[in-house]
Amino acid sequence: MEHSIIEAMRTSDYNEMMLRIERMRRDDQDHGEISVSAGYNDEGGTLVRSSTMVHKEKIPGSRGIQQDSILKTERKLDTLIVVRNDQKEIKVVPQDSTSQEVKAAMLQTKGGLDILLKDQNTMLELATYFQRGLHSGLDVIMDPDFQSYDSLLTLSLQERGISLPYRIEYLHFGNTPDSSLLFTDTLGMGGTANYIPGPDAHTYDYTFDIHSHSLYRLRMDSVAGVIVHQMAGILITSFVILLILGFSFWFLIRTLLKQKTLEEMKSDFTNNITHELKTPIAVAYAANDALLNFGQADEKAKRDKYLSISQEQLQRLSGLVEQILTMSMEQRKTFRLRLEEITLATLLESLTEQHKLKAQNPIDIDYRVEPANLTVFADRTHFSNILSNLIDNAVKYSPGKAVIRIHCRETADNGKVEISVSDEGTGIAQEKQKHIFDKFYRVPTGNLHNVKGYGLGLYYVKTMIEKHGGTVCVKSEPGHGSTFTITL
């Protein structure tokens, strides 16, 4: 890209010179003569010569060069040699050069400004210095047209596919007569309107004067910087869209995983509830079959036993159906609790007897109510099911004899009641405790399925307690049992 920009600056400079020459040709006035030639010397080096003759009387306001005066300049190995002829000759030559070497290197011309260059390595360099020689001669007659150069440069850059904003400056370098102070003049400034180069902008210099006193300086920000600046709005919008898409993708994956987990839990629930419903039905059917077909109805004791078994299993079946219906009803706006005053001692006595009668393994249930007449306002059916669920879990998760302790007391916190149900069973791991109140969740037990259930018991407990305006929490350690505490 740097080469393209420098070439655009050189081409624009050449076209600007051609415009000046065309204007001088059209004004039908003798301005002077400019001669430029190029070739090779005896040693194979390139030689370029430019000479200009200016007629002062033909050009009002000229630069003060006397008619027929000669100014010759040669650039040789970075050493400047100037020879001026005006009545008498004055020569300034380097110490290691002789007048014979100077005469051999120079080609004499008729007047004005002579510039002689040699020892250039390529034809491109030769063409560039030829153009600079023409420039130096032409500038004596007419100053460069910076506005035209700016317009031509814009077109030249666009032809090379460069449409970036830029600033172009026309600079002249010099020093004071005693050479004690260097100075820089800004003779012109143009480029893209309202464009201010940034601190990291690239600088491209094109020197068009053979003495390197005048140059065009172009400043332009990098392509990447300009593109980023121009696309800032698009980039920010794209980034926001990516964030939204990322969040949407994450939310979608999270939802799908939840749906998958829920589907698996529902499948487990269906399998478990099927077995749970079949068990009381099968037991009641067997008891009824014994009464009908095996003559057990004739003996009062056996008849009463089988009828009690049937009634117990039907109650159990009724409780399962009640919980399932409650889970669906509690999400409805029409669901209402039927609150009444319940004496805890009486309720616990009834629940204790029920669980002792239906337990397959020996159990020890001990309850304390402080004070003895402590009551709560709750829905009798649901509150009874809540305590029954907690006791039932304590029995199921006690591998041997179930030892259950129930403690009811009135707290000092504005008459609240605290009910705790403790057991000495298998306990619950810390990382599992936050999930035990989730719907359909059951603590994983590997390949062991010795405890029947369908993952609704504790969810039902938590949901109904919250409906009553209370809270429930658990404290447990594996191998040391669990304690569920209800606060109403």
* Average pLDDT over the chain, rounded to an integer: 75
CB-based contact 277:319 (threshold 8 Å): no
Question: Is the confidence at residue 122, as pLDDT, over 60?
Answer: no
Compute the average pLDDT of residues 395-400.
Answer: 83
CA torsion angle 26 27 30 31 (round to 10): -90
The better pLDDT of the pair 44, 341 is held by 341
pLDDT at residue 104 in the model: 35
pLDDT for res 68: 39
Same topology for domains 227-327 and 336-487, yes or no? Answer: no
140-188 pLDDT, tens digit per residue, is: 888 888 999 999 999 998 898 888 888 999 998 877 666 667 778 888 8
Instruction: Give the model's pLDDT for residue 439.
Output: 76
Least confident of 129-133, 190-194, 433-437: 129-133
Rounded to an integer, what distance in angstroms lies between the CA atom of residue 36 and that of residue 16? 18
Task: Render pLDDT for 267-302 as a digit per residue (tens, 0 to 9).
Answer: 766 766 676 677 778 778 887 877 777 666 667 787
Decide: 401 and 363 in contact? Cβ < 8 Å.
Answer: yes
User: Residue 274, class by beta-carbon neighbours within 10 Å (0-12 exposed, 13-18 middle, 19+ buried)?
Assistant: exposed
Q: Is the pLDDT of residue 109 over 60?
A: no
Three-state SS annotation for 295-344: CHHHCHHHHHHHHHHHHHHHHHHHHHHHHHHHHHHCCCCCCCCCEEEEEH
Is the overall model pTM greater than 0.75, yes or no?
Answer: no
> For 32-43, how does the pLDDT look when each residue is reduced to its tens digit (9 = 90+)?
777 766 555 555
- DSSP state letter for 400: S
pLDDT at 398 over 70: yes
Could you read off the pLDDT of 51-108 as tens digits, one per residue? 667 655 544 444 433 333 333 434 433 333 333 334 333 333 333 433 343 333 333 3
DSSP notation for 43-68 = TS-EEEEEEEEE-GGGSTT---PPTT
Helix/strand/coil (H, E, C) string of 110-148?
Answer: CCEEEEEEECCCCHHHHHHHHHHHHHHHHHHHCCCCHHH
State the pLDDT at residue 405: 94
Task: Give me the residue spans of the domains in the chain.
Answer: 1-26+34-47+106-220, 227-327, 336-487
Q: Which of 280, 389, 419 is nearest to 326 (CA)?
A: 389
**Is residue 289 within 8 Å of residue 307, measured between CB atoms?**
no
**Residue closest to 115 by CA, chosen among 97, 134, 98, 101:** 134
**138, pLDDT greater than 60:** yes
**313 has a pLDDT exceeding 50:** yes
Tell me which H or E stretch contains 79.
Answer: strand 79-86
Count of C-beta atoms within a 10 Å radius of residue 116: 23
Answer yes or no: is pLDDT of 328 > 70. no
- Among residues 139, 138, 212, which one has the least CA distance to residue 175? 212
Phi then psi for residue 309, to 5 deg, are: -60, -45
pLDDT of residue 38: 59
> What pLDDT, on the 0 to 100 scale, is given for residue 99?
39
Architecture of the domain spanning 336-487? 2-Layer Sandwich (3.30)
Q: Which residues are 408's β-sheet partners?
A: 369, 419
350-396 pLDDT, tens digit per residue, is: 888 888 877 777 888 999 999 889 999 998 888 988 898 899 888 88
Q: What is the C-alpha to C-alpha distance for residues 464 and 405, in angstroms, rounded to an integer?
A: 22
3-state secondary structure (DSSP) of residue 99: helix
Q: What is the pLDDT of residue 454?
A: 57
Under the banding of pLDDT at 50, 70 and 90, the label for residue 471 is very high
* Prior bond of 362 cis (ω within 30°): no
Q: What is the CATH number of domain 227-327?
A: 1.10.287.130
Render pLDDT for 243-270 as a digit per residue (tens, 0 to 9). 999 999 999 999 999 888 878 777 766 7
Q: Which pLDDT score, from 0 to 100, does residue 245 have? A: 95
Give pLDDT, residue 46. 55
pLDDT band at 240 (very low <50, low <70, confident <90, very high): very high
Q: Cα(259)–Cα(426) distance, rounded to whole angstroms?
A: 30
Which residues have a Cβ under 8 Å from the Cβ of 148 and sit 6 or more positions away?
A: 16, 19
pLDDT at 272: 65
**pLDDT at res. 484:** 94
For 425, the enclosing helix (H) or strand (E) is none
pLDDT of residue 61: 42
